[in-house]
Chains A and B, each alone.
Chain A
Amino acid sequence: MNPANNWLGLPVLHAVGLTLLLALTAYVLTAGADFGGGIWDLLANGPRRDKQREVIAHAIGPIWEANHVWLIFVVVIMFTAFPPAFGALSIALFIPFHLLLGGIVLRGGAFIFRSHEEVASPRWRRWAAIFGAASVISPFILGATLSAVSSGGIRVVNGYVTVNTALAWFSPLSLLVGALTLAICAYLAAVYLTVETQGEIQEDFRRRALGAWAVVAILPAILLILVARHSPLLWAHFASLEARVPMAIGIVLAIGSGWAMWARRYKLGRILAMAEVAILLWGWAFAQWPYIIFPDVTAANSAAPVPTLRFLLNTLPYGFAILIPSLIFLFAVFKGKEPLHPSA
């Protein structure tokens, strides 16, 4: 590609890739926690079981639709900027993506239906079960998908897509990344909920946050060992010298966020947890770049025409000039000091 094709000083392709990564990060940090809320809903127990579910529902209610839109952005950026990659992924991931959609549709439907039922009534419990189950399926598949595109199990040769399912899907690596994604969602949700609650219920979520923290800290260590054996591309990046800085930052953040939860410094914990998750995701993304589907599809060999990429990038300042103040307003109205009184 012509090096003159810069956007705000960045090569156009890098700018688009970065946009995609930021949208994905926003999705994980916001909607990921909404999925996590569903996981804790499913795992709710103890004397305050229904109270926990109520708190989760109130926390998610006004914001989950907006959070969900980040996924639509990710998909739209994918097919706008990298159409052949999107086509190939759609063929390779036909079944998992359909399962993901089933999960997304069921989660949204069950959540909104449940909000119209009386808390703890039999119908409420039925929708709650569907909501919880769907909240587990969707992030697991999303995580496994990220792993599948790095695994080398999806090959695209002359436009023909073949999938080695053992490598792409049923490898320990994919399953573990799926599990890690679940743990991340659960961790974020529990941490956010400690900020939004008080008293015993806050302690409930603090304990849950600490439990999930341990999983989020341990799984990446196991993953590194697996990556060394199964994914040469990713390993080459992780083992390199420049990868040690973000890894060190990640480790510091992980320790810091766990400590903050332990010490009941909830607001600090929330920031550190978000940073920890973002670093994990970015670590994967920078190791993956410039590949979209390793080893055949790169950003460069699947990019849309430059005017299209530029159009996409040029919409960003205008679009976000509207969206960011709107989002800040939304979160300020519903995540402020007062408790929630949903009337719908």
Chain B
Amino acid sequence: MINNISAARFQMGYSLGFHMIFAALGVGMPALMLIAEALWLRSRKPEYQKLAQTWAKATGLLFAIGAVSGTALSFELGLLWPRFMAFAGGTIGPAFTLEGYAFFTEAIFLGLYLYGWERLSGPAHWFSGLVVALSGAASSILVVAADAWMQTPVGVQDLISRPQTFNAARALFTNEAWWIMSIHSTLACYAATAFAAAGVYAWGAVVRGRKDDLRMRALAICMAVGVISAVAMPITGHESAISVARRQPNKLASMESLFRTQRGAPLLVGGIPDPAHQRVLFGIEIPKGLSFLATFNPNAEVQGLDRVPRDEWPNLYVTHFSFQAMVGAGMITMLVAIWYWIAARRRNGTKDNRLLQWALVVCSPLGFVSLEAGWIVTEVGRQPWIIYRVMRTAAAVTPAQGIGGSVTGFIVLYTLLGVALVWMLNRIKHPAA
């Protein structure tokens, strides 16, 4: 069944990649809403309330799609990978259990927030939003524990040999890989949301000439969240690289197309891996960069693909290009965010700076490019394992007939849903300022 495995991976990738956009916006948008509403409560300037209400409308749409696509995923874990779930469902379950509480809390308070503008007092309404923001972030952090265990299956030998005493919660939440993964990916949600929203206002300013106070303030709020998260990304990213180098050297080698184990390994920028000849074409090498990135020691040895059996190599093209895309997009957004705040020091410095506004338009999708690319590096870099060095993805896949239909159905369903959603979002306008 060669096609079951490819089809299942494609369906999983498409569903998760789709869901992730809404999950990230579900984490990021409440932060923007809360800042706007807090400014309203303090200053009583009606612009800020309009802003919070407009963002809340968008969040209502996005959250609904995130909720249903997330539900689909909880089923798809079993539908596509039943043998993985039969083996490890109880182990990753505690992460999903806690995430379930967080998500439930988020859904309750989002209902209060979206429909409660006239039924709750100002502070009570803002507090509802705060609960949404906190539980959204908690969901993100908790659910990553499941992925972190698949990357670093702590205690798996106990699960195999002495299952009746295996403590899954301890394995999940004492996993050192979890913290850095969850912080790095949750910050990415804020960055992706902030740049996506900022781009909308930059587009309005540069193309449509919409530069009123309301929109310029909206842009500033987005960029405040944007610059903090974008600057934090390389720092947490570096910690992630150290973690990956220690726990999944195969992944690091494939991200960097490092064929030969070496001391003082260079950091590769760009380039096209050529696995057949074990070389990289057109790449730029920063001497000793990888050794430094992975260990802080420029002369340290970094494991290459030569120590990995050929049938355990992840897909070099996908991991290498995704890694480059993640870092590249992350760097560009960070620099543009800093540029924005330098320009903002002058009066009207951002309002009339068309070059900056165009740069922000370009950055609009880049936060999500970075987020999705980072996720692809993480998951494709784990291949061919579904649980690193324990269970192969091919051994986990469903034997069921009909996966061709389900993968087609999901592509059609989510594509149509995405198109309809973008169209709906595009119609949400600010009330006249």
Q: List residues of chain A with CB under 8 Å of any chain B CB.
A: 61-63, 65-66, 68-69, 71-73, 75-77, 79-81, 83-84, 86-91, 94-95, 97-98, 100-102, 104-109, 111-113, 115-116, 159, 161, 304-308, 311-312, 315, 319, 322-323, 326-327, 329-330, 333-334, 338, 340-344
Contact = CB atoms under 8 A, between A and B. Distances in A.
10 contacts: A66-B108, A73-B100, A75-B71, A90-B82, A95-B405, A105-B72, A109-B64, A112-B61, A307-B165, A307-B166
6 closest Cβ pairs, A-B complex: A80-B93, A304-B90, A87-B86, A83-B89, A90-B78, A94-B400
Given A81-B90, A113-B420, 4 more contacts: A109-B421, A116-B428, A330-B108, A334-B111
Contacts of A61: 115
B414 to A, nearest CB: 8
Contacts of A342: 115
B198 interface: no
A65 B75 contact: no
Contacts of B96: 76, 79-80
A333 B120 contact: yes
B317 to A, nearest CB: 31
Nearest to A320: B101
A340 to B, nearest CB: 8
Contact of B68 (A86, A109, A340): A109
B297 interface: no
B59 to A, nearest CB: 9
A341 B86 CA distance: 46
Contact of A109 (B65, B112, B167): B65
A112 B64 contact: yes
Interface in B56-88: 56-57, 60-61, 63-65, 67-72, 74-79, 82-83, 85-88
Nearest to B103: A69
B402 interface: yes
A80 B95 CA distance: 9
B178 interface: no
B99 to A, nearest CB: 8
Given A69-B104, A104-B72, A305-B90, A79 B79 contact: no
A103 B400 CA distance: 20
B71 A104 contact: yes
A326 B109 contact: yes
Contacts of B406: 94-95, 98
B98 interface: yes
Contacts of A107: 68
Contacts of A330: 108, 111-112
Interface of chain A, main secondary structure = helix
Contact of B79 (A90, A311, A326, A341): A90
A306 B424 CA distance: 48
B93 A308 contact: yes
Interface string B12-56: 000000000000000000000000000000000000000001001
Given A83-B85, A87-B82, A105 B70 contact: no
Interface in B82-133: 82-83, 85-91, 93-94, 96-98, 100-101, 103-105, 107-112, 114-120
B262 interface: no
Contacts of A65: 63-64, 67, 107, 110-111
Contacts of B60: 112, 115, 344
Given A79-B78, A305-B168, A72 B103 contact: yes
A113 B104 contact: no
B289 interface: no
A338 to B, nearest CB: 8
A170 B402 CA distance: 18
Which of B63, B110, B400, B403 has most chain A Cβ within 10 Å?
Answer: B400
A168 B427 CA distance: 46
Nearest to A330: B108
Contacts of A69: 67, 100, 103-104, 107
Contact of A312 (B65, B93, B400): B93
Contacts of A343: 53, 115, 117-118
B420 to A, nearest CB: 6
Interface of B: 53, 56-57, 60-61, 63-65, 67-72, 74-79, 82-83, 85-91, 93-94, 96-98, 100-101, 103-105, 107-112, 114-120, 159, 163-170, 398-403, 405-406, 409, 413-414, 417, 420-421, 424, 427-428
Contacts of B420: 109, 113
B116 A333 contact: yes
B167 A86 contact: no
A337 B398 CA distance: 51
Contacts of A77: 97
A315 B77 contact: no
B63 A322 contact: no
A134 B71 CA distance: 15
Contacts of B56: 344
- Residue in A84, A94, A322 with the greatest tally of chain B CB atoms within 10 Å: A94
B71 A311 contact: no
Nearest to A325: B108
B74 A102 contact: no
Contact of B94 (A75, A105, A159, A311): A311
B168 A308 contact: yes
Contacts of B65: 108-109, 112
Given A79-B89, A113-B420, A68 B71 contact: yes
A104 B86 CA distance: 24
Nearest to A323: B104
A86 B103 CA distance: 22
A182 B83 CA distance: 32
A101 B72 contact: yes
Contacts of B428: 116
B3 to A, nearest CB: 15
A306 B413 CA distance: 39
Contacts of B57: 116, 344
A312 B94 contact: yes
Contact of B61 (A73, A116, A304, A315): A116
A159 B97 CA distance: 26
Nearest to A108: B68
Contact of B115 (A100, A112, A116, A344): A344
A62 B128 CA distance: 13
Given A80-B96, A315-B97, A333-B120, A308 B169 contact: yes
